[in-house]
A = this chain, B = another copy of it.
Amino acid sequence: MSTARRSAPRTTTPSPEAGVAATAPRVTKRGLERRDRILEVAAEMFLAHGYDGVSIDDIVKVVGGSKTNVYSHFGGKEGLFAAVVEEMCGDFLDGLQGMEATDPDPAAGLRAIGRALVAVLLEARHVAFQRLVIAESGRFPAMARAWFEAGPQRARAVIARCIAFHQQAGRLRPADPARMATRFHDMIVTNGLYQALLGTPPAAQEREAAIDEAVATLLHGHAA
């Protein structure tokens, strides 16, 4: 089912008398360190080789320690994978969150957000993450949903705030900022991400040009 995310990871001892909460698992510093190290290694290996491309034994071989420990922390391979993705989801866009639109020129603000966003999304690590999430979106639908909210949707929210700011200042025509943000986000991100997924990420110059075009299109269109 893959939905038992936080419920009962410690499956080794089924708790003698089920009824008295059965001794909460002991949390120690070493234990958390071990857990984090497993997550860390598993993340790198899943990113590099995909879900089916990595076995638990592969991970244990690198982490050290024993297989039992992986199972007691995460319940199994699916639990480990879910934990890995959950932790990575938020990491990429953290730097974007604080961006405020203060420049009176809408083009400048949109360009700044666009540059920051594209720079992060085209990092090799994020490209691998994107591939992983899409690849397993069928097997782990909840995970895919969570990624979408923590990734594209959050980026779009930042853009939407910028758009709303300029609308209130009368520099953009009134319209749903969230929907406008979606169009802008997609113009900026999609092609570069495709290229990167294919192994040929766009050069810096091409990235800039694409952002400039998207800004110009969003603001002025191409009608004669």
Instruction: Give per-residue flags for A107-149: 1 if the beta carbon is below 8 A from chain B beta carbons, else 0.
Output: 0000000000000000000001001001111110100110010
Q: In whole Å, how far is A124's beta carbon from the nearest beta carbon of chain B?
A: 11
A221 near B221 with CB under 8 A, answer: yes
The CA-CA distance from A135 to B46 in the complex, in Å, is 12
A220 interface residue, CB < 8 Å from B? yes
The CA-CA distance from A139 to B51 in the complex, in Å, is 13
A75 interface residue, CB < 8 Å from B? no
A217 near B145 with CB under 8 A, answer: no
The CA-CA distance from A48 to B183 in the complex, in Å, is 30
Question: Which residue among A136, A141, A148, A224 has the maximum number of chain B CB atoms within 10 Å of its CB?
Answer: A224
Q: In whole Å, how far is A114's beta carbon from the nearest beta carbon of chain B?
A: 13
Instruction: Give per-residue flags for A186-210: 1 if the beta carbon is below 8 A from chain B beta carbons, else 0.
Output: 1101110010011100000000001
Partner of A172 from B173, B190, B191, B222 at Cβ < 8 Å = B222
Q: Could you tell me how many residues of chain A have their Cβ less than 8 Å away from some Cβ of chain B? A: 46
B137 near A172 with CB under 8 A, answer: no
The CA-CA distance from A191 to B185 in the complex, in Å, is 9
Partner of A219 from B145, B187, B221 at Cβ < 8 Å = B221
Question: Which residue among A131, A141, A144, A187 has the maximum number of chain B CB atoms within 10 Å of its CB?
Answer: A187
B218 near A222 with CB under 8 A, answer: yes
Partner of A213 from B50, B139, B179, B222 at Cβ < 8 Å = B179
Q: Which residues of B contact A217 (CB under 8 A)?
A: 180, 183, 217-218, 221
B183 near A135 with CB under 8 A, answer: no
A106 near B223 with CB under 8 A, answer: yes
Instruction: Give per-residue flags for A146-166: 1 if the beta carbon is below 8 A from chain B beta carbons, else 0.
Output: 001000100000000000000
